Amino acid sequence: MGKYFGTDGIRGRVGEAPITADFMLRLGRAAGQVLAANDKRPVVIGKDTRISGYMFESALEAGLASSGANVALLGPMPTPAIAYLTRTLYACAGIVISASHNPYYDNGIKFFSADGEKLGDNIEAKIEAAIDAPFTTVDSANMGKAWRIEDAAGRYIEFCKGTLPFGTHLNHLKIVVDCANGSNYKVGPAVLRELGAKVVAIANQPDGLNINADCGSTYMQNLSIRVRDEKADLGIAFDGDGDRMLMVDDQGAVIDGDQLLYIIASARHAAGTLGGVVIGTVMSNLGLEQSLLQQGIGFERTPVGDRHVHQRLVSEGLSLGGESSGHILSLDRTSTGDGIISALQVLEIIVNSGKSLRELASGMEKFPHVMLNVPVSGNAKQRLAENQKIALEAQRVEKELGKSGRLILRASGTEPLVRVTVEGQDGQQVERLAEELAEVVRVEMT
């Protein structure tokens, strides 16, 4: 992590450094200097639905123009759509204004390269250095211009549908879609309807303040209830910026990212199209790893974050990986995690197999798993690494779990939290140990 960039771009509370209008002006100029130097291809900018996006869009546009960079504005669009449009519009870079699953009062910035992939550490370091340099403006004759892409949504909808084999339709499925009052509020339901599904859309009325508020992939209760009430076949929940996706089955049970990854990997393996091992993270459930190994499918883990999963997939020439949160990467279909395309893959399997989502997910036995988020103050990562009492308690927990369980203790890269995750075969033991360790963290770091 750099001075400004964290595990997933730059993120924080609006109005508090660095998530301020003046910083975004300097960031725009710096990004223009590094990513668009002597390049008249545009930098595309898209955003989610939170109210501060208007302010930051304008500030970034001004900063980019001051560096001489041209700008193409997409408006509210899912993060993966911005990655796709960066490539297909032949832009030199893409910028996403979003704090993903965080509340409306947070916001953040993510960048894509011209290939629609996240920037490498070396490029982020160059941008950080340029941010802190004195602000300069190119000569007026060389300033950048800005324009809006009016058909951005239509382009992306057609791309999503095109990831399915020709002739695939969802005519017999009734689907409830929770749009998280976020950037998928239009295109998510539209893709499914155009493929023939009967769609009931909820949390699809964003007002700038209600993004992720008791809805979306971080709050599944309303979706579960609505699926049962509607007697739907399943439900789909996106997060605020549309790169994650979880599902619920016809009985309202949540199907998480590990189970969805299992369903996709198993179907690809059976069809002979998997092309190697599956990549997860240290947070992936042990049940996923064991269920895949039983089928002869290899499984490897990376540190937390889709960025690490993506790097491993690329370095090993693989195509499929993901996180428990529902961030699934299918690099044979698109360059980044995409909630709509992930959902379409599962729906394709349902249609082709004739099985329900519940039946498909039943092949994976999940280990009891408890994750507790402990709010902390100060530099969570540094304080956690230096605290000996927490380290000793973590050692005690690991010793009691033995080889039949796992402990993951980590500071969040996007929020002031320490995440305590315990996994094992004995549910009561798992819950007890997680609570005991979380209490020590709470006492030591609050």
Positions marked catalytic: 100
The closest of 103, 96, 195 to 414, measured between CA atoms, is: 103
Is 283 buried (19+), middle (13-18) or exposed (0-12) by CB count in 10 A? buried
Cβ atoms of residues 256 and 358 within 8 Å? no
CA 31-35-36 angle, 5° bins: 100
Rg of the chain, C-alpha, whole Å: 22
Contact 358, 253 (CB under 8 A): yes
Closest to 50 (Cα-Cα) out of 185, 221, 248, 182: 182
Q: Are 123 and 73 in contact (CB under 8 A)?
A: no
For residue 166, give Cα distances in angstroms to 169, 356, 380, 383. Answer: 9, 22, 49, 53
Q: For 5-151, where are the alpha helices, taking DSSP H only? A: 21-35, 53-67, 79-88, 121-131
In the chain, the amino acid numbered 352 is: N
What residue type is 272 in one-letter code? Answer: G
Query: Residue written as tokens 């291809």?
Result: 41
Residue 48 CA to residue 335 CA, distance in Å, equals 19
H/E stretch holding 33 reads: helix 21-35
Residue 194 backbone dihedrals phi, psi, to 5 degrees: -65, -20
State CA 100 to chain mean position distance.
Answer: 7
- Those residues whose C-beta lies under 8 Å from the C-beta of residue 153, and which sit 6 or more positions away, are 77, 81, 186, 187, 190
Residue 160's CB is within 10 A of a number of other CB atoms, namely: 26
Q: Which of 113, 118, 64, 123 is nearest to 92 (CA)?
A: 113
Strands 10-13 and 106-112 come out as antiparallel
Contact predicate 69/61, CB 8 Å: no
Phi and psi at 56, nearest 5°, equal -75, -30
Angle at 278 between CA 113 and CA 182, to 5 degrees: 50
Task: Quote the tokens at residue 148.
Answer: 């809006």
